[in-house]
């Protein structure tokens, strides 16, 4: 199950000092819960958690459990766990681990930044490619975008570490829209992906939350996430 968003380029040399310098401007800890829908029908629930992990690093996890339909029938659940440092206001990747469990064949992917190299293990296959300053991965992309929006950005481009390379992804504010989700009704900012047509839209209220109140993506299964509850800063 996919949830995708953003990234920005800042110097690697800023990574550790920035964790302190921007402590008041970037989120430090929160838990957000979502309903997950597929094609408009209930599929499951998701829990996003950010917490300090020590040594200037943070852990950001996204755990999804299937509770309805086929997802429940096959016992489907997924877990994405990222480690990053705040490089300025960008959650710069340190590592990422994805696991999908079900009655069918499980899937896994691990990404690790080691020096100037990104190493990826995707199921039984391995890849490596050069690292880039300010690189994020797919799990932390929505968080990176939310922080950028809170800083007043109207558009942003991020280097995203994927399976075999760094992929440049661009996003732009598409306008203001009224959005109603289980957490309430909001005057939200709609963000669209612009570097290619992936059927991706996200709605943010950046003055309140660093993550979207709603996210819709057709690539990967026509999934929609709707915020139920947010706790933290």
Q: Are 65 and 45 in contact (CB under 8 A)?
A: yes
Please compute the mean of the pLDDT values over residues 138-162 and round it to a whole number: 95
Token output for 196: 């290619």
- pLDDT score of 13: 24
By C-alpha distance, which of 144, 103, 180 is closest to 5? 144
- pLDDT score of 103: 52
Residue 7 burial by Cβ neighbours in a 10 Å radius (0-12, 13-18, 19+): buried
- pLDDT score of 40: 85
Please compute the mean of the pLDDT values over residues 129-151 and round it to a whole number: 96
In percent, the amount of the chain with pLDDT more than 70 equals 81
- pLDDT score of 193: 93
Query: Rounded to whole angstroms, how far apart are CA atoms 206 and 148?
Result: 9
Token output for 124: 């039984």
- Lowest-confidence segment of 84-93, 97-106, 120-129, 153-162 by average pLDDT: 97-106
- pLDDT score of 78: 87
Mean model confidence pLDDT for the chain: 85
Asked if pLDDT for residue 64 goes beyond 50, the answer is: yes
Asked if pLDDT for residue 1 goes beyond 50, the answer is: no
* 131-169 per-residue burial string, b: 16 or more CB within 10 A, e: under 16: bbbbbbbbbbbbbbbbbbbbeebeebbbbbbbeeebeeb
Asked if pLDDT for residue 108 goes beyond 70, the answer is: yes
- pLDDT score of 53: 97
| 65 alpha carbon, distance to own chain's centre | 17
**Stronger pLDDT, 144 or 106, i.e. the higher one:** 144
Q: Which residues pair with 156 in a beta bridge?
A: 171
- pLDDT score of 228: 98
């Amino acid at each position: 199950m996919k949830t995708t968003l953003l990234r920005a380029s800042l110097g690697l040399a800023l990574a550790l000092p920035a964790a302190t310098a921007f402590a008041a401007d970037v989120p430090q800890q929160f838990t957000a819960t979502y309903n997950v829908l597929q094609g408009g029908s209930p599929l499951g629930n998701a829990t996003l958690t950010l917490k300090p992990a020590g040594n200037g690093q943070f852990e950001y996890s996204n755990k999804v459990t299937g509770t309805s339909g086929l997802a429940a029938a096959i016992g489907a659940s997924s877990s994405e766990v990222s480690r990053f440092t705040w490089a300025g206001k960008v959650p710069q990747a340190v590592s990422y681990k994805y696991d999908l469990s079900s009655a069918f064949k499980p899937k896994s992917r691990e990404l690790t930044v080691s020096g100037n190299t990104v190493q990826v293990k995707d199921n039984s296959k391995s890849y490596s490619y050069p690292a880039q300053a300010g690189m994020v991965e797919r799990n932390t992309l929505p968080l990176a975008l939310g922080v950028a929006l809170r800083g007043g950005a109207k558009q942003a481009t991020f280097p995203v570490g994927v399976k075999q390379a760094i992929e440049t992804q661009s996003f732009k504010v598409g306008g203001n829209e009224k959005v109603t989700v289980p957490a309430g009704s909001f005057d939200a900012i709609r963000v669209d992906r612009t570097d290619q047509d992936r059927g991706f839209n996200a709605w943010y209220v950046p003055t309140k939350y660093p993550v979207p109140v709603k996210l819709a993506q057709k690539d990967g299964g026509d999934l929609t996430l709707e915020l139920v509850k947010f706790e933290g800063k």
